[in-house]
Structure formats: structure tokens, C-alpha cells
């Protein structure tokens, strides 16, 4: 079977569809809305993919029809007679030429006479229709003898009528052909336009998702449930602790623990071990609290106005989108319009602050701007003051969060240093035990 060949847009669409499927494989949506959204998208785009597959053969033929026609036009042999030497020849056209009647004819070349001559009839259907019409018109004109040309040529009335019928029939056929190919071309264009639209859509969704915007409302793996990843230093510290603890157990078994310096060494082990354990626990707790926030973010019903019908609903987000200002917003389904829309307000504090600052700074700096804005949005002075208050609150919140993040970073850095210090300390102790084996031996 001949392999189907796709247009560039179709190839790209199929590629993105595959990526989307891969992206959503084994994912858990945050909520039922996100789940429905994912399934709807996959379903819709999947239907379109099937359409492209079914359409591909026809489209391929249509895409190639013009070039095939062009190819056969110049590679078909015609039975022609040279008007000069009267030889019967089988020739491929060497070109085409528009004659005085404004119609296009093939040109042939006779080797014997070394000269070009034209075809008897035009080389395309449209011109052939005109050629017939011209010919019939000429036959039907009244000649100088007062009779029509076809009568003068002794053509029977019936034959002339038959000639007219043939001309009409040919014209009809040509028209039908035009209409059929127009319809084909139209449906081809419609699918190609649809491909472009679907491609734009899927491209934006997948690319933006890969940038980190949670377009599909996917819940990531809970990091708090994953085993803690120990750093290289932490691993070394645990190795040292294990080694020294083993040694301690061994010493206890041999009842030689009475050695005072040795006791001091072993007493250091427990607090170090506890410190590491409590750090790992702290990290887990901070991850859990982050997850509680995320869970709230994705499962909290909000009063949201649909940007299309302007009605307000209690809605749960189905994903995030990047809006023109590059801020990230929640997207929702309007239950009335049954379409996806993006919330006007960004869904995170950083973007919200920028949003408020923009609306305050950019539009309300001069008195005129302020009045214009008041008229435009039907807002009041109080409303603007409220926005300012909200902005202040947001900023305070944001600062608190930043401070928390900063303190977490410091906490982690501090821990890193402590681990390094402990590793150093334990290496020295281990070294003392190894080289000072006399201490152990003496007891
Ligand atoms: Zn010739
Ligand atoms: Zn709506």
C-alpha cells in the first residue's frame, strides 16, 4: 500500500497529539473538573486526528492532482499532422501559445520540416468550450450570399443541430468538472483550516504546560511521600555513624566500654543521629504544608464570573493558562456557555501584585486618567481605595511568604554546614580509634 503523505501542519498536529497523550499518561488530575477537561480535550483532538487519518488519502491526491495534471500535460503523446509536410506524427508538445482568438494551443515540432506548428484545437477544456462556441457562431452567421455559412457549406440542418447539442453537452461536462473540483477544494481547505486552528490550540496547551503552567490541572507526585533524598555529605555521615555504632556494640559485647575516652566518643553519636533525623522530619513537614496549600488551591470553589455570559458561579478550576500579560490565571468551564474561560484575576500572589500595581500605577497616575477609569469601569473612589488596600495586603502576605522561603533556605544551608562539621568530627574520631588502638587494647 502506498504510504500516506501528510501536509506539514498535519504532521505537526499528529506529533503534538502524541506528545499530549504521553504527557497525560498516568497523571492524576487535581479535581473532577480537571479530569473532565483532560478527557474532553483528548477526545476532541482524538476525533480530529481520526479525521485527518481518514482525510489523508483524498487530501494527498488533491494536493498532487495539479502537479500530476501538469506532468501528464507535457508528457502525453498526441497524434498530429504536420501542416507543412502532411506527415502523421506522434509528438509530445514542446510548448503552448496563445493565438489571435485568445485561446491557448499546444505547439509541436516537426523534425522533417524543422518547424513549429500548433494543435488544431485548444489544449484545455475551458478554451475548448469557447473554441466550439466560436466555431458554431461562425457557422451560423449569414454569408455574403444571404445564406448561413453552414448551409453554404452544404451541411445538413440535422448535422448542424447535432453539432450544437454536442457543444452544449461538452460545456455542461466541463462545468460539472469545475463544480466537483471546487467542492473538493473547498472541503480540503476547510479541513486544512481546521488543522491550523487545532494545531495552534494543542501547540499552545502542550508548550505552555511544558513551561511549567499546569494547563491540565495535573497533580504532581506528592514529594512528602517520596523517600528523602540524602546528599553526598549526609550519606557519608550516616556511613560513619553506622561504622562507629557497630564498633560501640562490639565493644559493649566485649565488656570493654569502661574506657572513659572511648565513652566520650560514643556519646557523641546519638545527638548527631537525632539531629539528622529531626532535619529530615522538618523537611517532610514543610513539604506537607506546601501540599496542603496546593490542595486548597486546586480544590477550592470560588465565586467566578464567566467572561462570556458575565454570570457568577461557584466554580472549581480545571487548569491554568498563561494570559496575554504573561500572568498565570485559573481556567474554568462555564456551566451555562459550556466553554472554557480564563479568570480575569491571576491565580498567584506575584502576578496578582503586578496586576493590581498595573491597574493603579498605569491608569490612575493623573487626575484625568483616574476620572476616565472611574467612568469606564463604573467604579468609585472607594473601590479604588479598596484595590489599594488589597494590594497592600497582598504585598504583606507575599513578603511573609518570601521570608518563610528565605528562612527555609537558611535552615537548609545551616544544616549543610552542620553535616559537614559532623562528618569532619566523626572522621577525626574514627581516626583516633584506628590509630589509638592501644587505648582499646590497654583496657
Ligand atoms: Zn513537416
Ligand atoms: Zn458563561
pLDDT tens per residue across span 278-295: 999 999 999 999 999 999
The Cα 391–Cα 394 span in angstroms is: 5
CA 299 – ligand 2 centroid, Å:
21
CA-based nearest residue to 242, from 212, 217, 272: 272
Cα of 75 vs centre of ligand 1, distance in Å, is 21
Q: What is the CA radius of gyration of the chain?
A: 42
Q: How far apart are CA 273 and CA 278, in angstroms?
A: 9
Contact 29, 218 (CB under 8 A): yes
Q: How far is the CA of 307 from the centre of ligand 1 (A)?
A: 78
Tell me: pLDDT of 360 over 80. Answer: no
Question: Residue 370 above 90 pLDDT?
Answer: no
* Angle formed at CA 205 by CA 203 and CA 211, multiple of 5 degrees: 100
Ligand nearest, relative to CA of residue 84? 1
Distance, CA 89 to ligand 1 centroid (Å)?
9
Q: Which residue has the higher pLDDT, 374 or 252?
A: 252
Ligand 2 centroid–CA 380 distance in Å is 26
pLDDT exceeds 70 at position 124: yes
- How many other CB atoms sit within 10 Å of the CB of residue 199? 21
Model pLDDT for residues 62-91, shown as the tens digit of each residue: 777 777 888 899 999 999 999 999 999 999
Query: How far apart are the CA of 336 and the centre of ligand 2, in A?
Result: 5
Confidence band of 54 (pLDDT split at 50, 70, 90): confident
pLDDT, residue 135, reads 92
Q: pLDDT-based confidence at 439, cuts 50/70/90?
A: very low
**Proximal ligand: closest to the CA of 115:** 1
The answer to whether residue 197 scores a pLDDT higher than 50 is yes
Domains in the chain with CATH codes: 8-73+185-211 (no CATH), 76-169 (no CATH), 224-300+348-443 (no CATH), 302-347 (2.20.25)
Whether residue 255 is predicted with pLDDT greater than 70 in this model: the reply is no
**Cell numbers 507575599 correspond to what residue?**
398
Strand partners, 315: 302
Cα-to-centroid distance, 123 and ligand 1 (Å): 21
DSSP label of 26: T
Within 10 angstroms of residue 120's Cβ, the number of other Cβ atoms is 11
Mean pLDDT, the chain, integer: 87
| Under 8 Å between Cβ of 326 and 220 | no
Given a cut of 60, whether residue 139 has pLDDT beyond it is yes
pLDDT of residue 22: 93
Q: How remote is the CA of residue 121 from the centroid of ligand 1, in Å? A: 18
Ligand 1 center–CA 10 separation, angstroms: 52
pLDDT at residue 283 in the model: 94
Rounded distance from Cα 421 to ligand 1 centre (Å): 105
Please give the pLDDT value at position 369.
59
Distance 139 CA to ligand 1 centre (A): 30
Residue whose grid cell is 504527557: 23
Count of beta carbons in the 10 Å neighbourhood of residue 294 = 15
pLDDT at 364: 56
Question: Roughly what angle, to the nearest 10 degrees, separates helices 8-24 and 32-75?
Answer: 160
**Percent of the chain clearing pLDDT 90 (strictly above):** 58
- The rounded Å distance from CA 110 to ligand 1 centre is 5
Burial label, 304 (beta-carbon count in 10 A; 0-12, 13-18, 19+): buried
Cα angle 40-31-398, degrees, rounded to a multiple of 5: 120
pLDDT in tens, 174-188: 999 998 888 888 888
Amino acid at each position: 500500500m502506498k504510504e500516506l503523505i501528510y501536509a506539514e501542519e498535519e504532521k505537526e498536529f499528529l506529533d503534538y497529539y502524541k506528545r499530549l497523550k504521553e504527557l497525560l499518561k498516568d497523571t492524576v488530575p487535581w479535581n473532577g473538573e480537571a479530569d473532565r477537561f483532560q478527557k474532553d480535550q483528548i477526545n476532541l483532538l482524538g476525533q480530529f486526528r481520526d479525521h485527518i487519518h481518514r482525510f489523508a488519502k483524498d487530501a494527498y491526491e488533491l494536493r498532487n492532482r495539479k502537479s500530476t495534471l501538469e506532468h501528464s500535460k507535457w508528457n502525453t503523446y498526441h497524434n498530429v499532422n504536420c501542416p507543412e509536410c502532411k506527415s502523421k506524427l506522434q509528438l509530445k508538445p514542446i510548448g503552448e501559445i496563445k493565438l489571435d482568438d485568445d485561446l491557448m494551443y499546444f505547439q509541436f515540432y516537426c523534425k522533417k520540416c524543422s518547424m513549429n506548428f500548433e494543435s488544431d484545437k485548444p489544449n484545455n477544456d475551458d478554451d475548448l468550450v469557447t473554441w466550439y462556441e466560436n466555431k458554431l457562431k461562425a457557422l451560423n452567421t449569414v454569408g455574403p450570399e444571404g445564406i448561413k455559412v453552414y448551409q453554404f457549406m452544404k451541411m445538413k440542418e440535422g448535422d448542424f443541430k447535432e453539432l450544437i447539442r454536442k457543444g452544449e453537452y461538452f460545456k455542461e461536462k466541463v462545468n460539472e468538472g469545475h463544480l466537483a473540483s471546487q467542492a473538493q477544494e473547498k472541503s480540503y481547505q476547510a479541513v486544512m483550516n481546521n488543522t491550523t486552528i487545532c494545531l495552534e490550540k494543542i501547540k499552545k496547551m502542550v508548550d505552555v504546560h511544558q513551561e511549567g503552567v499546569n494547563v491540565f490541572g495535573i497533580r504532581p507526585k506528592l514529594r512528602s511521600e517520596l523517600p528523602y533524598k540524602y546528599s553526598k555529605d549526609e550519606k557519608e555521615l550516616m556511613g560513619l555513624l553506622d561504622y562507629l555504632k557497630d564498633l560501640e556494640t562490639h565493644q559493649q559485647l566485649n565488656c570493654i566500654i569502661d574506657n572513659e575516652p572511648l565513652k566520650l566518643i560514643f556519646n557523641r553519636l546519638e545527638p548527631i543521629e537525632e539531629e539528622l533525623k529531626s532535619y529530615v522530619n522538618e523537611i517532610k513537614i514543610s513539604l506537607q504544608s506546601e501540599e496542603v496549600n496546593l490542595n486548597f488551591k486546586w480544590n477550592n470553589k470560588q465565586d467566578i464570573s464567566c467572561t462570556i455570559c458575565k454570570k457568577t458561579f461557584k466554580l472549581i478550576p480545571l487548569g491554568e493558562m498563561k494570559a496575554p500579560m504573561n500572568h498565570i490565571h485559573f481556567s474554568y468551564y462555564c456551566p451555562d456557555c459550556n466553554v472554557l474561560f480564563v479568570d480575569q484575576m491571576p491565580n498567584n500572589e506575584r502576578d496578582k501584585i503586578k496586576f493590581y500595581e498595573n491597574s493603579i500605577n498605569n491608569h490612575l497616575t493623573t487626575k484625568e486618567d483616574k476620572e476616565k477609569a472611574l467612568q469606564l469601569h463604573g467604579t468609585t473612589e472607594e473601590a479604588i481605595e479598596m484595590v489599594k488596600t488589597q494590594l497592600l495586603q497582598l504585598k504583606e502576605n507575599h513578603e511573609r511568604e518570601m521570608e518563610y522561603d528565605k528562612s527555609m533556605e537558611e535552615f537548609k544551608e545551616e544544616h549543610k554546614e552542620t553535616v559537614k562539621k559532623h562528618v569532619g568530627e566523626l572522621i577525626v574520631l574514627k581516626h583516633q580509634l584506628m590509630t589509638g588502638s592501644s587505648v582499646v587494647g590497654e583496657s
